[in-house]
Amino acid sequence: MRDLDCGFEYIISLIDPITPMGREQLRNLPFMNSANEITESHQRQLDMAEKERDLASIKVILSRIRDIRGTISNLSSGLVLDDVELFEIKSFAYWTGKLSDELGTCAPWMKLPDLSLVFSILDPDNSGTESFYISDCCDDSLCGIRKEIHRLQRIGVEDKKSELSRLLQENFEIENRVRSRLSKRLLGNCDALVTAIEITGKIDLAIALTDLNRKLGLGKPDISSGEYEFRDLVNPEISRSLNLSGKKFQPFSAKLERKVVIIGGNMTGKSVLLRTVALLQTMFQHGLFVPARKALIPVYDTIIYFSGDKQSFVDGLSSFAGEIEHLRKAIETVDSDISGLFLFDEIGRSTNPVEGPAFLMASAEYLHRSEKCRSVFTSHYEEALGIEEAQMFIIKGVDHEKIIKEKGKDVSYYVDHSLVEMGSNESFPKEAITIARLMGLDSEFIQLIKRNMKGGCE
């Protein structure tokens, strides 16, 4: 579901874990289709947000924690670790100990296993530091040999050379035996180390998500058993680029039934709305908080979103073939009795205006058959008004009063993106020409369009 072209990658790119373990958990963030899993993820972010005051110091500690999975795998396969690897394990035990202290009383999921035994195995001198050294007390004979080596090196007598190299060799062999002993003693702690690595990654990711929530002002969504409602939903990516050009994203609010049709003129933001709903659902099902002031949404087994924009080209299909492919998957979902959210942007638009609306009507009817599914269509076709039992929305569109009152503004100034439920007697908006004129299309050409319209206009 991550490959849905709804801007989810942009959101992911803003999440910035510190440790390699956290980054890997982010890369493998699963699509969650169980409410429990999602609730747990929410809880982790709430727990972490409570630690807000300590986050800066926790992050400093995290930045010192290395990924030691390679070393652990060497250890568990019975290899003798070298000094660098033993250091890595000692340092890991040292810093996760600090992390544990810093977290203090905390939620059960962030409880790190006690690695003080691991640390003490690697700290024979009780130095209490991160450094690792095979000290004299690791073996009874080390102290004497090293003293003698030092003495010989200081006097530097030529005829003692062979004696010196014999002692160096002996020192080398004893150190190797010590490494082997230490590795054996550590072997029993592999599981605890692996668990600590896993939990460190979880803590790191939860902090990164908490940062994201603060940065984008995301809120915790509520899980519903069927209702679908959001208030003040925004699209962070589009919102950001609008802000850069001094404009504002107009948030959407709606309560969606199971069969929804959204109509509206050109440039009113139907596609943006659909894309944002796809993003909302995708973020929700990856356990993230969402860009809405309030959201009450159900968990689905699958999300099918057809934007028609570019995904078909990427897959090497014509836009019509892409559309059919998505329809086929949606139909399969309905038939196989799993739950699904279907989001179709202007179904049938890539074929002729006689057959196109028929695709829309048929989809609306078929995809409604499963109680477990919800479909949202946007459309330009007037026929959409005839879809039975559909909840109809319209995006307000051009504000004609504004056009009369104020002239010479950018076209976006005159468009109202509010989503409103349609009354039964409202007519279909035909505003293409108005919008084209606002965008500054040649007036003679506009006249030509008008002459070419059957049945006149405006």
Partner 1 sequence: MKSPTNISLLTENLRVVSIIGLEKNTGKTVVLNKLLKEFGEKGITVGLTSTGLEGERRDQIYLNEKPEISLNRGTYFATSEKDFRNRQFSATVIDLKDYRSPLGKTVFARAETDGKVILSGPSIFQYLLEAVSIMKSYGCERILIDGSTSRMSPGAPLVSDGIILATGAALSMNIEELCRKTLFAIKLISLKATEPKLANRMLTLKGGVWIENGETFEKLSSSALTTSYPRSKIAGKTIFIDGSLTSSVLLSLSERGTRVVVNDFSRIFVDERSLMKYERAGGRLEVLHPANLVAVTVNPFSPTGFKIHSRELIRALEDKIDVPVVNVLEEILK
Closest distance to partner 1 from the beta carbon of 26 (Å):
19
Query: What are the angstrom distances between the C-alpha of 205 and each of 102, 110, 114, 219, 279?
Result: 17, 11, 21, 17, 20
Please report whether residue 71 would count as binding partner 1 according to CB under 8 A: no
Distance between CA atoms of 425 and 447, rounded to whole angstroms? 30
Please report whether residue 82 would count as binding partner 1 according to CB under 8 A: yes
Q: Which of 79, 282, 42 is nearest to 182 (CA)?
A: 79
Residue number, 73 or 153, with CB nearest to partner 1: 153
Closest distance to partner 1 from the beta carbon of 133 (Å):
4
Please report whether residue 134 would count as binding partner 1 according to CB under 8 A: yes
- Phi/psi for 408 (5° steps) reads 80, 15
Binding residues for partner 1, rule CB under 8 A, total 21
Please identify, among the stretches 143-151, 258-266, 286-294, 404-412, the one whose residues bind partner 1 according to the rule CB under 8 A. Answer: 143-151
Residues numbered 219-238 forming contacts with partner 1, rule: CB under 8 A: none
Near partner 1 by CB under 8 A: residue from 52, 83, 227, 257: 83
Please report whether residue 155 would count as binding partner 1 according to CB under 8 A: no
Closest distance to partner 1 from the beta carbon of 96 (Å):
16
Residue number, 135 or 319, with CB nearest to partner 1: 135
- Burial class (CB within 10 angstroms; exposed 0-12, middle 13-18, buried 19+) of 4: buried
Residue number, 5 or 130, with CB nearest to partner 1: 130
Please report whether residue 293 would count as binding partner 1 according to CB under 8 A: no
Three-state SS string over 6-68 comes to CCHHHHHHCCCCCCHHHHHHHHCCCCCCCHHHHHHHHHHHHHHHHCHHHHHHHHHHHCCCCCC
Closest distance to partner 1 from the beta carbon of 147 (Å):
10
Near partner 1 by CB under 8 A: residue from 36, 57, 73, 153: 153
Please report whether residue 80 would count as binding partner 1 according to CB under 8 A: no
Near partner 1 by CB under 8 A: residue from 16, 102, 175, 365: 175
Residue number, 204 or 237, with CB nearest to partner 1: 204
Near partner 1 by CB under 8 A: residue from 16, 130, 139, 229: 130
Residue number, 47 or 88, with CB nearest to partner 1: 88
Cα 411 from chain centroid?
A: 34
Closest distance to partner 1 from the beta carbon of 136 (Å):
9
Please identify, among the stretches 109-117, 167-175, 284-292, 424-432, the one whose residues bind partner 1 according to the rule CB under 8 A. Answer: 167-175
Residue number, 183 or 276, with CB nearest to partner 1: 183
Please identify, among the stretches 50-58, 81-89, 192-200, 391-399, the one whose residues bind partner 1 according to the rule CB under 8 A. Answer: 81-89
- Burial class (CB within 10 angstroms; exposed 0-12, middle 13-18, buried 19+) of 169: exposed
Please report whether residue 87 would count as binding partner 1 according to CB under 8 A: yes
- Phi/psi for 138 (5° steps) reads -75, -20
Tell me if 268 sits within 8 A of 287, measured CB to CB.
no
Near partner 1 by CB under 8 A: residue from 46, 80, 149, 449: 149
Near partner 1 by CB under 8 A: residue from 98, 146, 396, 437: 146
Please identify, among the stretches 46-54, 126-134, 359-367, 409-417, the one whose residues bind partner 1 according to the rule CB under 8 A. Answer: 126-134
| DSSP symbol at 410 | -
Tell me if 334 sits within 8 A of 367, measured CB to CB.
yes
Three-state SS string over 313-376 comes to HHCCCCHHHHHHHHHHHHHHHHHCCCCEEEEEECCCCCCCCCCHHHHHHHHHHHCCCCCCEEEE
Please report whether residue 307 would count as binding partner 1 according to CB under 8 A: no
Helix or strand (DSSP H, E) at 295: strand 294-297
Please report whether residue 19 would count as binding partner 1 according to CB under 8 A: no
Distance between CA atoms of 313 and 350, rounded to whole angstroms? 13
- Burial class (CB within 10 angstroms; exposed 0-12, middle 13-18, buried 19+) of 283: buried
Please identify, among the stretches 142-150, 244-252, 337-345, 383-391, the one whose residues bind partner 1 according to the rule CB under 8 A. Answer: 142-150
Tell me if 261 sits within 8 A of 392, measured CB to CB.
yes
Distance between CA atoms of 42 and 288, rounded to whole angstroms? 7
Residue number, 36 or 120, with CB nearest to partner 1: 120
Residue number, 164 or 296, with CB nearest to partner 1: 164
Distance between CA atoms of 262 and 260, rounded to whole angstroms? 7
Tell me if 287 sits within 8 A of 213, measured CB to CB.
no
- Phi-psi label, residue 245: left if phi above 0, alpha if psi -120 to 50, beta otherwise: alpha
**What are the residues whose beta carbons fall under 8 Å from the beta carbon of 380, sequence distance 6 or more?**
263, 346, 349
Distance between CA atoms of 294 and 302, rounded to whole angstroms? 22
Please report whether residue 150 would count as binding partner 1 according to CB under 8 A: yes
Please identify, among the stretches 168-176, 199-207, 267-275, 430-438, the one whose residues bind partner 1 according to the rule CB under 8 A. Answer: 168-176
Please report whether residue 171 would count as binding partner 1 according to CB under 8 A: yes
The binding site for partner 1 (CB under 8 A) comprises: 66, 82-84, 86-88, 91, 130-134, 146, 149-150, 153, 168, 171-172, 175
